[in-house]
């Protein structure tokens, strides 16, 4: 009888243990916290940095040139006046892309010699095409610094109603407090623009030497009137 009692007691004990274990497992499963939602990674949208616009100061800028004259026996130096223009400093990747637009007064061309001046004005037809337009941008990004820098401008020159691709070497240029002071050179042949000059008087091959001064606070000059296209 005692053996039967002991077996019955053991069965009750095992049953109680199983019931308690089941209850504990059921409770843990019912109260388990849901997995935490993943924290979203914030995205940063870069702020747009506006370009800086500098207006060309005609009185302080100049387009000078040299050319062979009198059948190549002498070298003359001449100049064109500057009507206006704009230099745009556009931020890119922590540096600057520089664009230059320069309006050149062709009737003002002079070398200080009446015969050569007349040949140049007649050949360029300055009455019909009074404005030449240089429009170009830096081929590489330019460092943001107050130290002198050098770079290349590539774009177009519209002269005598014709537009040609050109490059200009800028060296040096400084930009301090949104004030640009630059010196640039470019060799061109006026015959590429349909300009015919008497070679005995002056050569069509010239080298331009440009001084460009522009400032953010300088007044903007009016845009040029369209010039007629070459026939």
Name residues whose C-beta falls within 8 Å of residue 178's C-beta, 6 or more positions apart in sequence. Answer: 52, 54, 89, 215, 216, 217
- DSSP code for 42: P
Angular region, 178: left φ>0, alpha ψ -120 to 50, beta rest: left
Whole-number Cα distances in Å, 44 to 20, 40, 47, 54, 79: 54, 13, 9, 31, 52
What's the rounded mean pLDDT across residues 113-123?
97
Which of 37-46, 160-169, 184-193 shows the lowest mean pLDDT across its residues? Answer: 37-46
Alpha carbon dihedral 35, 41, 42, 48, in 10-degree steps, equals -160
- Tell me the mean pLDDT in the region 125-146: 98
Residue 31 has pLDDT above 90, yes or no: no
pLDDT at 49: 79
CATH number of 52-215, picked from 2.40.128.110, 3.90.1310.10, 3.40.1120.10, 2.60.60.20: 2.40.128.110
Q: What is the pLDDT of residue 4?
A: 44
Please compute the mean of the pLDDT values over residues 171-179 and round it to a whole number: 97
Domain spans in the chain, listed from the N-terminal domain onward: 1-29, 52-215
Q: Is the pLDDT of residue 25 over 50?
A: no
Instruction: Give the lowest-confidence range in 119-128, 168-177, 185-194, 218-227.
Output: 218-227
Q: How confident is the model at residue 133 (pLDDT cuts 50, 70, 90)?
A: very high
Buried-state track 142-168, b at ≥16 Cβ within 10 A, e below 16 = beeeeeebebebebebbbbeebeebeb
Average pLDDT over residues 131-140: 98
Q: What is the mean pLDDT of residues 153-161?
A: 98
For 54, counting Cβ atoms within 10 Å of its Cβ (0-12 exposed, 13-18 middle, 19+ buried), the class is buried
What local confidence, expressed as pLDDT, does residue 148 receive?
Answer: 98
Identify the residue with better confidence: 163 or 38. 163
pLDDT for the residue numbered 97: 98
Percentage of residues in the chain having pLDDT higher than 70: 75
Q: Please tell me whether residue 193 adopts helix, strand or coil conformation.
A: helix
Backbone angles phi and psi of 176, in degrees to 5 = -130, 125
On average, the pLDDT of the chain sits at 85
SS3 helix, strand, coil % of the chain, rounded to 5?
Answer: 20, 45, 35
Task: Specify the pLDDT at position 221.
Answer: 80
Q: Which helix (H) or strand (E) holds 120?
A: helix 114-124
Q: Mean per-residue pLDDT for 61-70?
A: 97
């Amino acid at each position: 009888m005692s053996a039967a009692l002991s077996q019955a007691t053991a069965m009750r004990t095992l049953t109680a243990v199983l019931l308690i274990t089941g209850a504990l497992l059921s409770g843990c499963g019912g109260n388990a916290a849901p997995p935490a939602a993943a924290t979203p990674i914030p995205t940063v949208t870069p702020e747009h940095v506006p370009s800086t616009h500098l207006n060309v100061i005609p009185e302080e800028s100049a387009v000078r040139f040299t050319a062979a004259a009198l059948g190549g026996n002498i070298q003359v130096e001449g100049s064109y006046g500057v009507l206006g223009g704009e230099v745009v400093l556009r931020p890119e990747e922590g540096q600057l892309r520089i664009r230059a637009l320069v309006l050149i007064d062709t009737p003002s061309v002079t070398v200080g010699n009446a015969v050569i001046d007349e040949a140049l004005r007649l050949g360029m037809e300055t009455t019909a095409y009074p404005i030449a337009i240089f429009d170009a941008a830096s081929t590489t990004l330019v460092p943001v610094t107050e130290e002198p820098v050098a770079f290349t401008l590539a774009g177009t020159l519209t002269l005598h109603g014709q537009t040609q691709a050109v490059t200009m070497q800028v060296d040096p240029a400084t930009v301090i407090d949104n004030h640009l002071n630059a010196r640039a050179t470019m060799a061109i042949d006026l015959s590429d623009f349909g300009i015919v000059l008497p070679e005995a008087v002056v050569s069509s091959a010239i080298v331009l030497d440009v001084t460009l001064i522009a400032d953010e606070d300088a007044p903007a000059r009016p845009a040029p009137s369209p010039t007629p296209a070459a026939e």
